[in-house]
């Protein structure tokens, strides 16, 4: 339904001092702190996890060499969503508006809605990351203590016992990340890169990563996490995380969390000959997801 003069009564009356409600600032594209962005030219993208070889065996003198096999293990699929929003203005509403250009003002509001929708959809990968209702390619949720593997047993990217963000839990997360293994039980040189927290944890994160001494103790000990540069990219606050005590550590493992752009955001407008109404539309296609769970470590909090 088109926006008409009945919905814009005050904007048609002389003497109005200001219009407000559409000029709020927006948070930046916070998904870029979590996801690696790639372009796509297909309806969906698939990424296949491959297993390499196990440890080499000792070959006895004159004995035959041992052969090993490599194979595909599981597939992660990214199905692109089409995200769109539109509005329409009547011809009369545009003619009688006495203030700012209606189309320009509401086009900015349209862009703001599109941008925030993208941030919500991105954050939902983490918000739903502890739920078995949202499995990945290996059939497990993103954060689990029992990711399956070919020969390495159950692997984890979540604390064995959920814990709030503090010095002890962060150190344990870093130890667990250093213990990552691949599908054939070989050690993975995974390094933590960035701490991702909701607004409620930003003060704890800042003290934890930037205080020279140990946090909340009277000991004259150094802050080992800071001194060793264990989180080189610091922390990032994501305002779209819904759990106030969940926290996450992004690692440098490739092909972890990904954002595929199928069609970049675009805007269009057209007029209707019969009614004179003008319609405005914004549209884009993209997907958020994960391929290798080793790309991130998380805790839902205690």
In total, the chain counts a number of residues equal to 302
The closest of 6, 287, 236, 302 to 124, measured between CA atoms, is 287
Topology at the third CATH level for domain 33-40+75-299: phage-related protein like fold (3.90.1690)
pLDDT at 277: 85
**What are the phi and psi torsion angles at 152 (to 5°)?**
-95, 5
Ranges in the chain, pLDDT < 50: 4-21, 98-99
Q: pLDDT tens, 175-219? A: 999 999 999 999 999 999 999 999 999 999 999 999 999 887 777
pLDDT at 13: 43
For the chain, the structural domain boundaries read 33-40+75-299
Strand order of the β-sheet with 192-197 is 235-237, 192-197, 247-251, 296-299
Burial class (CB within 10 angstroms; exposed 0-12, middle 13-18, buried 19+) of 277: buried
Q: What is the pTM of this model?
A: 0.87
What separation, in Å, do the N-terminal and C-terminal C-alpha atoms of the chain show?
47
Half-sphere exposure of 192 (CA within 13 A, CB side): 28
Sorted by sequence, the CB contacts under 8 Å of residue 240 that are 6+ apart come out as 30, 119, 120, 122, 123, 127
pLDDT at 36: 97
């Amino acid at each position: 339904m088109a926006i008409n003069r009945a919905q814009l009564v005050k904007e048609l009356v002389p003497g109005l001092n200001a219009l407000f409600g559409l000029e709020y600032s927006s948070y930046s594209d916070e998904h870029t702190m979590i996801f690696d962005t790639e372009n796509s030219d297909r309806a969906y993208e698939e990424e296949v996890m491959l297993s390499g070889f196990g440890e080499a065996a000792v070959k006895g003198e004159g004995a035959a060499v041992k052969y090993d096999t490599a194979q595909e293990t599981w597939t992660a699929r990214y199905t692109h969503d089409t995200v769109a929003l539109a509005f329409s203005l009547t011809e009369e509403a545009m003619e009688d508006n006495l203030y700012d250009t209606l189309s320009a003002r509401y086009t900015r509001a349209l862009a703001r809605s599109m941008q925030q929708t993208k941030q919500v959809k991105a954050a939902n990968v983490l918000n739903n990351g502890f739920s078995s209702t949202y499995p990945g390619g290996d059939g497990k949720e993103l954060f689990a203590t029992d990711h399956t593997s070919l020969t390495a047993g159950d692997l984890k990217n979540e604390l064995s016992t959920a814990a709030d963000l503090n010095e002890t839990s962060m150190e344990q997360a870093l130890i667990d990340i250093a213990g990552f293994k691949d599908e054939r039980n070989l050690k993975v040189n995974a390094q933590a890169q960035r701490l991702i927290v909701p607004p409620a944890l930003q003060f704890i994160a800042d003290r934890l990563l930037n205080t020279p001494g140990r946090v909340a103790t009277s000991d004259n000990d150094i802050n080992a996490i800071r001194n060793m540069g264990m989180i080189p990219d610091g922390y990032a606050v994501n305002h779209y995380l819904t759990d106030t005590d969940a926290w996450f550590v992004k690692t440098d493992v490739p092909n972890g969390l990904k954002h595929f752009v199928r069609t970049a955001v675009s805007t269009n407008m057209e007029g209707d000959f019969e009614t004179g109404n003008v319609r405005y539309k914004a549209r884009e296609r993209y997907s958020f997801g994960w391929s290798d769970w080793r790309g991130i470590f998380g805790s839902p909090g205690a």
